[in-house]
Amino acid sequence: MFGFLNVYKPTGITSHDVVSRLRKVIGMKQIGHTGTLDPFAEGVLPICVGKATRLIEYLDDDKAYEGIIQFGKSSTTYDKDGEILETSGKLITENELISALNDFRGEIEQKPPIFSAIKIKGKKLYEYARAGETVEVPIRKITIYKLELLEFDYSKQQAKVYIECSKGTYIRSIANDLGKVLGCFGYLEKLIRVKAGKFVIDKSCPLESINTENVGSLLFSPLEILDFRKYQLDDNTVRAVKNGMRIKANGFSETEFAALVYNSELISVARFEKGAFVQKKVLG
């Protein structure tokens, strides 16, 4: 059994907790997730089961979120779970917020929160933070494909936003930085991941509803998820592929990846090089 689960992670647990629970429920050790969600966040968490764990590098990494930003305060973690650092009595207007959002679209530079799992010199940033140690947090380039204001409550000074972004984007940092631009501070009150690559929230399954009996029916085939053209194998070529051999073909572009298929099952992920498929991940 192998494939992908579209799990809805609840608040209050880590992504690692989800994997640990599923290993016990399903009775398999070869299970992993494709993108960490903070404990206070909820929503789509793609899970790889069995041999699908070997395909993580080929999955679409773009994400989409709905978040609620609270203005007027900043926190150590850039979200509601941190200690409040600063407060402001300034009240922003919806027009001011809409104007400020323009600074956060497209390719931008972002400084991740100190309370994050990014490793510096083999140690996670949150470990430095908890130990009270100072470390330089590297600035990284990310891309915000879409950023929309969905709702704004002037009395509560809260904004609900929708964000489509590249891998490695911290929505907590956007909330913190947006507060700085507006001169009123800000942190993330709530976060829901509504999309991760091809996994969408409408088709996600609550963690607590997954069990040994139904997990097979909930699995998405790798052929449904991978964005590669398919190449059908015959009895001769499938044996060669399973042995890791190159097979000649045509109709594909140089360095293009393909899903090599036999009897509707993914046998290998291969790359087309000089008129032949070179095997990269043999699963069959």
Distance between CA 241 and CA 277 in Å, rounded?
A: 9
Distance between CA 179 and CA 100 in Å, rounded?
A: 9
Distance between CA 31 and CA 121 in Å, rounded?
A: 27
User: Is 81 annotated as catalytic?
Assistant: no
pLDDT of residue 35: 82
Look up residue 220 and give its DSSP letter: B
Distance between CA 95 and CA 46 in Å, rounded?
A: 37
- Estimate to the nearest angstrom the gap between the alpha carbon of 225 and the chain centroid: 14
pLDDT of residue 129: 63
Is residue 282 very low, low, confident or very high in pLDDT (cuts 50, 70, 90)?
Answer: very high
- pLDDT of 18 higher than 90: yes
Residue that is written with structure tokens 């929505």 in the block: 171
Q: Phi and psi of 18, rounded to 5°?
A: -60, -45
218 token code pair: 């909930």
- What fold characterizes domain 3-58+198-221? Pseudouridine synthase (3.30.2350)
Residue 236: C-alpha distances to residues 219, 268, 278 (Å): 29, 15, 16
Q: What is the pLDDT of residues 54-89, one digit of tens each?
A: 999 999 989 999 999 999 999 999 999 999 999 999
Q: What is the pLDDT of residues 223-236, one digit of tens each?
A: 999 999 999 999 99
Cβ within 8 Å of residue 254, ≥6 positions away: 272, 273, 274
Distance between CA 194 and CA 202 in Å, rounded?
A: 8
- pLDDT of 126 higher than 80: no
Domain boundaries, the chain: 3-58+198-221, 63-195, 228-282
pTM (2 decimals)? Answer: 0.91
Q: Phi and psi of 98, rounded to 5°?
A: -60, -40
- pLDDT of 219 higher than 70: yes
**Amino acid type, 281:** K
- pLDDT of 116 higher than 90: no
pLDDT of residue 38: 87
pLDDT of residue 119: 75
Q: Is there a shared CATH topology between the 63-195 domain and the 228-282 domain?
A: no
pLDDT of residue 135: 73
How much is the mean pLDDT over the chain?
A: 93
pLDDT of residue 128: 62
* Bridge partner list, 32: 48
pLDDT of residue 114: 74
Cβ within 8 Å of residue 110, ≥6 positions away: 139, 140, 141, 142, 169, 170, 173, 174, 177
Catalytically annotated residue among 17, 38, 60, 62:
38
pLDDT of residue 137: 76
Cβ within 8 Å of residue 9, ≥6 positions away: 15, 18, 37, 41, 42, 43, 44, 45, 207
pLDDT of residue 78: 94
pLDDT of residue 121: 66
Percent of the chain whose predicted confidence (pLDDT) is above 90: 84
Is residue 112 very low, low, confident or very high in pLDDT (cuts 50, 70, 90)?
Answer: confident
- pLDDT of 117 higher than 80: no
Q: Please name the CATH architecture into which domain 228-282 falls.
A: Roll (2.30)
Distance between CA 79 and CA 213 in Å, rounded?
A: 38
pLDDT of residue 166: 95
190 token code pair: 């709530």
pLDDT of residue 111: 85
**Amino acid type, 34:** T
- pLDDT of 45 higher than 90: yes
- pLDDT of 134 higher than 80: no
- CATH of the domain spanning 63-195: 3.30.2350.10
